[in-house]
Amino acid sequence: MTRHFLNLLDATKDELALIIRRASQLRQMQKAGELYQPFVGRTMAMIFEKHSTRTRVSFEAGMSQFGGHALFLSPSAIQLGRGEPIEDSARVISSMVDIVVMRTFGHDRICNFAKYSSVPVINALTDEYHPCQLLSDIQTFNEHRGSIAGKTVTWVGDGNNMCSSYMLAAEQFDFYLNIASPDGYKPNADLLNRYKHRVQLIDKPAEAVKEAHLVVTDVWASMGQEQEQQKRLRDFAGYQVDENLLDLAQPDVLFMHCLPAHRGEEISQNLLDDPRSVVWDEAENRLHAQKALVEFLLQDKIRA
C-alpha cells in the first residue's frame, strides 16, 4: 500500500514526532556541510498548478542535496494543463519517478492523483490543506521553545487552508488552538466540531491571543481568491496582527506566518522584523522538514 502525505492525518503522532526530530538533525547536518545522499538516481516530479517560491525551492533544493533529481512540471508545459485526465497523468508520471509533489486547487484533485499513483504523493498545498508548512512550523517552535504539546496557539485571520491545517496539527501535536476570524471567514465547521476538545473560536483577536505561546496569521486573500481582495480588505478590518497584539500574549510568544506576507494588511509594516517573529527560520525549515518527510516516505529506497 503506497503511503501518501495529503494531510497531517496521513502519519501517526509518533511518526510526525520522528519526522520533526529528524528535520532538526538534517538541518544541523546541512549547516555542518555534511554530504548525505541517500537518493542518488531517484527522481521527484513536482506538479505546481499555483505559484510558489518556498515550496518549490525547498523541495527542489532538498532533492538535489539528497543526490536525487527534481523535475518541475508547470501545467502550461504538460498535457495535464491541456485536459489530459488526472488519472492518466498520475499513472504515467508515477511509473517513471519515485515520488510526486503536487500543488493544486481542490483537495479532491490531489486525492484523485494519489489514488492512481504508484508512488507516494505529497500535498504541497491545496485549497483545503498545507501540511508541509505545518511540519516546518512545529519544527521551528520546537527549536525555539521546546515541545508544543500543552501550549496554546492562536490563529488570527482567514479560516483557510492554513487554519484547517492548524486544526489537524492541534490534534496531532497535542496543543490548544484559539481561532479569531471575522464573520463569513470562519474555519471549516466539520473540523471545528471534530476537534472541539482542542480548538475554540474566540472572535476578538485581543481576547484570543491572551494565553498564546504562538500567534499565527496568513494572507486575507489566498491564491485563487484574488478577485475578492478588495472586499476582504474591508471584511478583515480589525484582524491585523501587530506588535501591540503580541504584547497581550504570553511574554515568550512567537509569531509565525507561512509567507508570502502583505505588510500593512494582515500584519503591521514591521512585524516580520520584531524579535518575536521567527518567520525566516520557519521559511528555511521548509527545506529540512520536507527532506525529513521525503526520507520517511522513501525509507525503503534509501541507498546504503
Q: Which residues of the shown chain bind ligand CP in the complex (CB under 6 A)?
A: 52-55, 125, 133, 258-259
Cβ-based nearer residue to ligand CP, 135 or 298: 135
Annotated active-site residue 258? The verdict is yes
Cα gap 97→272, rounded to integer Å? 38
Cα gap 256→70, rounded to integer Å? 28
Cβ-based nearer residue to ligand NVA, 171 or 218: 218
Among 57, 269, 10, 19, residue whose Cα is nearest residue 139: 19
Annotated active-site residue 42? The verdict is no
Determine which one of 22, 27, 56, 130 is catalytic: 130
Q: Which does 53 bind (CB under 5 to 8 A by kind): ligand NVA, ligand CP, none?
A: ligand CP
Q: Which does 162 bind (CB under 5 to 8 A by kind): ligand CP, ligand NVA, none?
A: ligand NVA
Annotated active-site residue 103? The verdict is yes
Residue recorded with cell 508545459: 77
Cβ-based nearer residue to ligand CP, 28 or 53: 53
Report the amino acid identity of residue 111.
C
Is residue 96 within 8 A of residue 43, CB to CB? The reply is: yes
Q: What is the DSSP letter of 157?
A: S
Annotated active-site residue 274? The verdict is no
Residue recorded with cell 509567507: 259
Determine which one of 103, 213, 257, 288 is catalytic: 103
Q: Is 53 annotated as a binding residue?
A: yes
Annotated active-site residue 194? The verdict is no
Is residue 248 within 8 A of residue 206, CB to CB? The reply is: yes
Cβ-based nearer residue to ligand CP, 192 or 265: 265
Annotated active-site residue 69? The verdict is no
Q: Which does 161 bind (CB under 5 to 8 A by kind): ligand NVA, ligand CP, none?
A: ligand NVA
Determine which one of 139, 218, 232, 290 is catalytic: 218
Long-range contacts of 32-39 (CB under 8 A, 24+ apart): 36/65, 36/66, 37/65, 37/66, 37/67, 37/303, 38/66, 38/67, 38/295, 38/302, 38/303, 39/63, 39/66, 39/67, 39/68, 39/98, 39/294, 39/298, 39/301, 39/302, 39/303
Q: Is 127 annotated as a binding residue?
A: no
Catalytic center residues: 103, 130, 133, 218, 258, 286
| Feature table: binding site | 52-55, 79, 103, 130-133, 161, 218, 222-223, 258-259, 286
| Feature table: binding site for carbamoyl phosphate | 52-55, 79, 103, 130-133, 258-259, 286
